[in-house]
Amino acid sequence: MHPQELGSSSVELAAVADACLNHQQKMANYTGPLLVMHTEHDGLVDVSHGQRLFDWAAGHKKLKIFPQGNHNDIMFVNAREYFALLAEFIDSL
């Protein structure tokens, strides 16, 4: 599909995409508390994505990269520490 088929130009479409999908800018503008939990060997979303979100965030933040688990079982494989971190984060709010 071409932007013209949507009644738009390439420039307009790029501007809208940037406004909606620029996660670096969104994270830089977010100053609230942030907890990022990821696994080292996530087979669906590379760990670098979680690291970048953390790096881009401006506010109070915490990052935990679990050495065990995958995208869909992070909570189960790391249950004790996962829920402890979550409780600590919620208590800090």
How far does Cα 1 stand from its chain's mean position? 29
Domains of the chain by residue range: 1-30, 31-93
pLDDT one-digit tens code per residue, 4-20 = 988 899 999 999 989 89
pLDDT digits (tens, 9 = 90+) for 22-80: 999 999 999 999 999 999 999 999 999 999 999 999 999 999 999 999 999 999 999 99
In this predicted structure, the answer to whether residue 1 has a pLDDT above a threshold of 80 is: no
